Chain A
Amino acid sequence: MSSSSAPQLRSRLPRLAEVAVQRARLTVVPRPRNRPRAPRVPFVIFVSVIMLGGVVGLLLFNTSMQQASFRETALEQQVADLTAREEALNLELQEKRSFQHVAYEAQKAGMVFTTGAACVLGLGTGEIKGTCVPALPDNRIPINPPGVEKPAALDPAPVIVRDKPDPKTDPGTKGGNPSGDGAPNNNQQR
């Protein structure tokens, strides 16, 4: 029942407000003949300039970035070179200030380590505790470490030659040559 009454109501509405409905209808409005047209050229130029400016700017920016990249690469290389140079200088410095080198130079200049009695100076009181004695030349220590071990072939065991005394000819001489002429007594070598 209700479904059939709704369309009837809609069909009646125009009749009720027919004038208002007629007024509200969309119609094509004619263009006024004498209205001025906006000029297109300045706009096109404006857009073109912006676009051109953007493109050129982008190009310059990119070029600048590329140049910065080249420069960065060159500077990185320079940093690597300088770092290597610094390391080389540090190596030299460390060699100069190694304990071995300093001790060698000090000992060459006549300096020795102090051993034996020790004395301590109190910086606050100026008091000396202990017995102060000068360092002695005997306090020198070996600075150079022993050399590299040689292979057995280059470092054979020492050959020890002992002369046996001959009691028949010279009981008082140990290991001497009985002939007394200074010649080696080969018979006694072993």
Chain B
Amino acid sequence: MRLKIGFIVIAMVLSVFAARLVQLQGVDPDQYAAMAAAEGSVDVILPATRGSIVDRNGEPLAESIDGKMIVADPALTTDDAPELATFLAKRLHLDYFQVLQRLRVENSRFQYIARQVPARLATQVVDEAEAEGFVGLFLRRDPVRIYPQGRLAANLVGFLGTPRKDGSARALAGLEDAFNKYLSGTDGEERYKVGAGNQIPLGDSTITPAVDGQQLQLTIDADMQFYTQQVLQQTVEGANAESGIAVIMDSKTGEILALADYPTYNNSAPDEWSPKRYKSSALTDVYEPGSTEKVLTLSALIDAGLARPRQQYVVPPVLNRQDRPIHDHWYHGIEHLTLAGILAKSSNIGTVLAADNFPKGELRRYLSDFGLGHTTGVGPLGESRGILPSGDAWTDQVDDRIAFGQSLSVNAVQMIAAVNTIANGGIRIDPSLVDGSASLDDGTEIGTDDATERRVISSEAARQTGLMMERVLDPVDGVAPLASVPGYRIAGKTGTAQRVVESCGCYDGSHTASFVGFGPTDDARFTIYVVIHDSRTGGGGAVAGPAFAKLMSYALRRYGVPPTDTKPSKLPVEW
């Protein structure tokens, strides 16, 4: 009898064990396995370091440093909230009342106190708080993106927003956004066993190493960018103008050495500025180029064999065309100008008369080859491709106006790349902002390695156009002597175009003053374009010309380009 009872008890106990075994292994084995694995083990994210953005000489324009977020547990901080808030507000320059409120939030164990604090400072503050007897503050990883050069190239570089909860970057503007994947890399992971806060030496340990983001090297020369920005600011403010753009390009490679927008913003504190400034106007904003476009028209005429620099034209005071008369910017009687004179004096009437020789569609084909009406591919910074009319929209009236730079629109990078074709011996080369090659988020590779080139006009046509452009800076015969650099042969062209404003979509009487040119004329190293919108103190020669001269002089000096010791052009402008 005792034996039977004993067996029954043993059977019951074993049944309980069996039931528990079925529960553990049959019902939800994965959860229990995970719980067992998690017991005493620690998962750590190994953060990938975001790649830096550097200039052509390796000067950092954007880089990441280790940062921390300071987090409070209100359940522990409520009691000492006023004292702790005072301490944090003083040490971290925070708003006292906001901190106080967060330290007292009910039914919460997690409140942000400060984010993206440099690690050194954050650690010091929390240590000091603990030393003073405060509890409930914790640190968590929160990488900090810094822009050590302040506003330098802010419109290009862009910025990151507040990181996501997992610490990953939130790219919001500029190259930071366009190359986000390229710069981000991939976070790694480490899992190991701990005991008393230390890793158990022979415990389980798995590591997936982080893959750091790649460095993005730009073609920008930071020194030159700084000077360009300051000269542009000086020019825009001096002209009481609305805004301005300045671009410097290496004539032989198409590399953009400086690209300045004004007004700009500080990408270290973007929320203090209007989001309208986050763009790069040199790429996003289009405008009528005005007379700077004449160099494209006339170079195309020479290339097509339809004109020569010394060709003679009779230029009347007014040219009555289909819908309205065409005037020049100065009052004159009947002028006897050469083709070089038409460019030197920027005659609209002379340009239209010369362009009359183009067969139908030929001017458009040339302008399209120069890159107008197409995006430059310099980077997806919201580039606009401008307007180059086609089909029925290209009427005879439009044809006349386009010949001297009206009725079409361009962005600044498009325009400098087009004029650089003349500087580069008739070969158009894609402008580049990225040195080497880098992948956009959509996988497209862009950069100097991927830049393509094509011949648009013959080298002889380019040379002759350059000689004609030299006459523009002639102190007697030209309209822009202020753009010259003493001792150097410089070719250029002014532009003073009527301006269409966004608010009404119409000409409001304001002007865009511009100057584009390159130097030395016979061995071009730099092509520079300065655009001033709504200039109140003069046109292209008076406002943009001096800025061009400063930038060209600086560039030639910085890169040690000696004068070419050749005689400047003496092409006749009148006959």
Query: A residues touching B (Cβ–Cβ < 8 Å)?
Result: 65-66, 68-70, 72-73, 80-81, 83-85, 87-88, 90-91, 94-95, 98-100, 103, 113-120, 122, 129-131, 133, 141-143, 145-146, 148-149
Contact = CB atoms under 8 A, between A and B. Distances in A.
B200 A87 contact: no
A105 to B, nearest CB: 14
A113 B227 contact: yes
B197 interface: yes
B557 A73 contact: no
A114 B198 contact: no
14 contacts: A65-B202, A80-B119, A84-B119, A88-B121, A91-B118, A100-B149, A100-B152, A116-B553, A117-B486, A118-B556, A122-B562, A129-B563, A145-B151, A146-B233
Interface in B150-207: 150-152, 197-202
Interface string B532-574: 0000000000000000011001101100111101000000000
Contacts of A129: 562-563, 565
B148 A69 contact: no
Contact of B263 (A117, A120, A142, A146): A146
A131 B485 CA distance: 10
B485 A118 contact: yes
Contacts of B563: 120, 129-130
A120 B272 CA distance: 44
B487 interface: yes
Contacts of A120: 557, 560-563
B148 A73 contact: no
B231 interface: yes
Nearest to B200: A69
B273 interface: yes
Contacts of B562: 120, 122, 129-130
Nearest to B274: A149
Interface of B: 60, 65-66, 118-121, 123, 146, 148-152, 197-202, 222-223, 226-227, 230-231, 233-234, 237, 263-264, 266, 272-274, 485-488, 549-550, 553-554, 556-557, 560-563, 565
A171 B355 CA distance: 55
A91 B146 contact: yes
Given A87-B65, A103-B226, A129-B562, A118 B557 contact: yes
Given A87-B65, A88-B120, A113 B554 contact: yes
A143 B233 CA distance: 9
B226 A73 contact: no
Contact of B557 (A91, A114, A122): A114
A70 B201 CA distance: 10
B560 A81 contact: no
Contacts of B199: 69, 72-73
Given A98-B148, A113-B227, 12 more contacts: A66-B198, A70-B198, A80-B66, A100-B149, A100-B226, A113-B554, A114-B557, A117-B485, A119-B487, A130-B487, A142-B234, A145-B151
Contacts of B197: 73
A88 B118 contact: yes
A66 B194 CA distance: 11
B214 to A, nearest CB: 21
B222 A99 contact: yes
A141 B273 contact: no
Contacts of A87: 65-66, 118-120
A81 B122 CA distance: 11
Contact of A84 (B118, B264, B274, B554): B118
Given A91-B65, A99-B152, A145-B264, A65 B237 contact: no
A107 to B, nearest CB: 10
Contacts of A130: 487-488, 562-563
Nearest to B151: A145
Of all A-B residue pairs in the complex, the 7 with the closest CB atoms, nearest first, are: A84-B119, A117-B486, A84-B120, A94-B148, A88-B120, A65-B201, A99-B226
Contacts of A114: 553-554, 557
B120 A118 contact: no
A155 to B, nearest CB: 13
B262 to A, nearest CB: 9
Nearest to B123: A84
Contacts of B150: 98-100
Contacts of A91: 65, 118, 146, 148
A115 B201 contact: no
B152 to A, nearest CB: 6
Nearest to B233: A142
B234 A141 contact: yes
Nearest to A146: B263
A148 B554 contact: no
Contacts of A85: 120
Contacts of A88: 118, 120-121
A143 B234 CA distance: 10
Contacts of A115: 549-550, 553-554
Nearest to A94: B148
A84 B66 contact: yes
A73 B118 contact: no
Contacts of A119: 487
Nearest to A130: B487
A69 B149 contact: no
A118 B487 contact: yes
Interface centre among B230, B273, B553 (most CB of A within 10 A): B230
A187 to B, nearest CB: 32
Contacts of A133: 486
Contacts of B486: 116-117, 131, 133
A87 B119 CA distance: 8
B557 A68 contact: no
B237 A142 contact: yes
Interface centre among B199, B266, B549 (most CB of A within 10 A): B199
Contacts of A131: 486-487
B490 to A, nearest CB: 11
B533 to A, nearest CB: 16
Contacts of B485: 116-118
A95 B234 contact: no
A66 B553 contact: no
Contacts of B149: 98-100
Contacts of B119: 80, 83-84, 87
Contacts of A103: 226, 230
A83 to B, nearest CB: 6
A72 B233 CA distance: 54
Contacts of A83: 66, 119
Contacts of B152: 99-100
Nearest to A95: B148
A143 B150 CA distance: 12
Contact of B223 (A70, A81, A84, A99): A99
Nearest to A121: B560
Contacts of B233: 141-142, 145-146
